[in-house]
Chain A
């Protein structure tokens, strides 16, 4: 009988475990290799992601910004005046493009080019209009100055009138006829803010040029910076408070040194006072605005145009994030100084539906009450609008 020595047993044991140890070692090496490869892959993935993110962030237009808005209107309005023409119209009312360019953090250019009523040209209904083109300079972190062609800081809609931002297919008649929006001029303006929620605007710019032999309604006096007569300039100042969420209180005063740009006629200086309040809390919204003109001279006093006044109030309620209803009562009179009834009023009710936050479909009904012998348009409007 052969005896097995301890050495032999140890040798046999070692020989038996060698393959297992080798396999373990091989597995460890493989895991280390995989870990290293995984680290390399993650490093490369992160590097790739960083590069893609950088490319995406610079894939835009850099300092150039482009935006725009537009709105198509369908008006179905019956003229209650005997023999008067109805308004049954499909009109691409506005097509607007914004172009902005940021030269530095403190100097920027902004412009707005508009095609109104789709088709412009001689004897055509449309127009091509430059509504903004100014350079703005930050003077410090709270004040800036702009020079060029800009929208005047007056009323609610004059500066902010992208279709998804307001109720009603057509812009309200008070701001249209009394302020008169959309109202742009050329000149210079200081803007700034102070306290918690106060801001101011102070500008010097071209004035209105109203024909003293006509109705002298202020809307007809806009010169639109088209070789504008700058014999007599105007100044505008606004104070605004937005220090409570949902609330805006603002007042604008403007002085026109000569409404006709001609010192030799019977139309002199004029002053505009406008004030408005906006309050939105939860689903409820309220807008209210009052504006009045005081024109000097015997010519406006003769036909009542020495006082031109309007106001409106507009409650609204958003039933959902995408659907809101509103009602608005508007009163305006471009001959409020007259002893006869020259006052217009219009009541609107309707809804906005936003399928996307920047796209809106609007429907409203309107009912007018007008002076005797004037066209009175009652009916409904449908619109689709967008901004980007």
Chain B
């Protein structure tokens, strides 16, 4: 789960990290009111889960009421990389002389959290990491002990942060690690951490991502979740609880297990088709879940044919077959051809149950995919 900037900033501020004065607004009037309260110049920032907001026109500086109105009008309601902007953060624009980067994330290679500091903040930190990795100081943290204060100081000195700022930046870093640990974060980041003319530091942006698997014990954060989806299908997938990714092709793909579903996508591509989606029904799915999956893929108007690829371990072929039958029997006419491949646990029972007037049954993965690609080509004509 990803927190919005305004949410992450409030978590950071509560923990004692300095953040600019800011107010959330959802109309031009509210933006102007907030800007007058805070005092110009202000930054008007779209609150959507999109990287590179500034470049995409989602962040604007306003030095006057007229500019604040103009910024609000252009940002509120805009479409930012597929997301509709409904709210903006109106924030004191801080005068700064330097921009730092501080963050904590999981180094999966090491299986340990890693704290990072760089004096090359503000710009695209990913390209800094790629082009000049030595410009980012890294300190691995033992999760059993937490971050020692010396580690925070070491990272700050290694990064070359000026001595007069070192103590303040180290304390921000240690607070961030504490938040990372307490809140089950997968990522906390401030980019940029601005340094003012008076050598004050202030978090000009804030990123906080929470491990979805730990939300059960992070109730307060879980309640902040505001579902945002790129389209209605992704919304539907959220309601049904599927791992679903929409793609640009016309072959609908349903399977069990992430690795096998990805492989099915790859095979569709290999045999000349184009995947319309990734849909993993997960392990041990019952008939209703299978029917929901078909409902989802049928409601994607780009889909011309559907392949069902099930290799049951924990999932049972007979349950899957019942789900497919019950989903298809509702139709007078099946909207799109469906090819089914069942293997593994109770696959034979499943194949006996399957109504083969409604679906095409194939024995092997290769045959199932090729047949589906053929159907999709016929339907597309």
| A and B from one complex | no
Which A residues are closer than 8 A to B by beta carbons?
Answer: none
Which B residues are closer than 8 A to A by beta carbons?
Answer: none
